[in-house]
Chain A
Amino acid sequence: MTALDAVSVYTPAFRVPLEDLADPLGLTDIQVRLFRRFHGLDQVRFDPDRSPAELLRAAVEGLAELRGQEHRVRYVIHGRAMPVVVPYPHNPLHDVCRELGLGHALAFTVTQQSCASGLLAVELAGRLLARDPDDALALVLTGEKAFTRHARLIPGTSLFGEGASACLVSANGPRDRMLSFVCAQRGEFDGEFGDREEEFQRQYRPSLAEVINRAVADAGLTLDDIRLVLPHNVNVVTWQRLCSLMDFPVQRVLLSNVPDHGHLFCTDAFANYRTARERDLLREGDHYLVATVGAGAGATFSAMVFQH
């Protein structure tokens, strides 16, 4: 059973208050007030001095459990939202692998599910490892730069920040075991088929609720069994309304990183996991759910259930 053996997260110390983003992002006064009042955003993390490779390296360097185990790592998978982040022939993932003694591993990037690609990478790692010897590991990385207006803002919805994570995955680890994974890919929301934004907004919460319910059922559980939800940090109001729709207490959704980080692309799930661990919100045996939505070329709704 796929398991998370260790998770490390790097979030930059440099914080930009919401109001300071108004000019560079072309936000009106009312857009700023809406973000603060309903979306629960307050500040966004950036690291202007670090390149994409340096962001990834910062996350891996925090993963003490990797040291001395590099030879066991067979796959390094970068889950990323943006299809292109550096010009050809640069490859930050391969640079990081070489520098950290992981040059032997099969390294590749998945971006097909946008912000849901981090969960896809974990699931893929588990599937690949299932055919390998028991001691084989995979390293899942997330992290990218919010370097254009398009990459920093979803109008009326969210603001992106920068951060990175490194997650050691095994096929049979004892710690955080994946009980289920449900993913709904919705090609009809691709912008190439016309402006589907309004319909996407309308179906966003019901679609996310559906994959969450399916993931919980596939794990042999009910929503009452879920101790904690680790959300994507899109905004607060979306999760408040989703919880209302699902009759799930919003107090069991870890939303405290939304005002502090902004939406960190594929990194939210791992950052929220670290926060849950640091605050001792998960006890041995607890079930928790990770959920996210990737929107780009089409949309992906994903949910994973783990047992801690």
Chain B
Amino acid sequence: MTAPDAQVDSALRERVVEAMTTVLKRLVEREEPITEDMQMADELGVSSSLGLELLLEVEEQLGIQIDVERMRPDELLTVGELATFIAGHSRPW
């Protein structure tokens, strides 16, 4: 369930992508750049538990709360798709 682009704050999405790529590099111990088109599970090896750790760190870095109730992980396969969801389904805390 990815939010339509029209509902997404593009500045927030940019910050989400930046935070996600920084955190992901550390979590999966990767030196090379991480791009939006990369598959989280298949290319980066992000497990479901590592995915939650990613969400928690993004929340804490950006001071947001992600609406995980509405998240369908099976439909959020790439870094960019997850970033779009987070930007469209989060609120400041």
Residues of B in contact with A (beta carbons under 8 Å apart): 1, 47-49, 52-53, 55-57, 59, 68-74
Contact = CB atoms under 8 A, between A and B. Distances in A.
Interface string A241-273: 101110000100000000000000000000000
- The 3 A-B residue pairs whose C-beta atoms are closest, nearest first, are A156-B49, A240-B69, A201-B48
Contacts of A156: 49, 52
A251 to B, nearest CB: 10
A37 B66 CA distance: 11
A241 B73 contact: yes
7 contacts: A34-B52, A34-B53, A38-B55, A38-B56, A38-B68, A157-B49, A240-B68
A15 interface: no
A37 B1 contact: no
Contacts of A198: 47
Interface of A: 30, 33-34, 37-38, 155-157, 198, 201-202, 237, 240-241, 243-245, 250
Contacts of B53: 30, 34
B56 A30 contact: yes
A154 to B, nearest CB: 10
A33 B56 contact: yes
Nearest to B57: A30
Given A243-B69, A244-B70, 5 more contacts: A30-B53, A34-B53, A155-B49, A156-B52, A245-B72
Contacts of B70: 244
Nearest to B50: A156
The main secondary structure of chain A at its interface with chain B is: helix
A234 B69 CA distance: 16
B71 A241 contact: yes
A244 B52 contact: no
A33 B60 CA distance: 11
A202 B48 contact: yes
B63 to A, nearest CB: 14
B84 to A, nearest CB: 17
A38 B73 CA distance: 14
Contacts of A34: 49, 52-53, 56
Nearest to B49: A156
A201 B47 contact: yes
A38 B52 contact: yes
Contacts of A202: 48
Contacts of A250: 69
A204 to B, nearest CB: 8
A240 B70 CA distance: 8
A19 B33 CA distance: 36
Contacts of A241: 68, 71-73
B29 to A, nearest CB: 16
B42 to A, nearest CB: 11
- Interface core residue of A34, A202, A240, A244 (most chain B CB under 10 Å): A244
B73 A237 contact: no
Nearest to B65: A37
B3 to A, nearest CB: 14
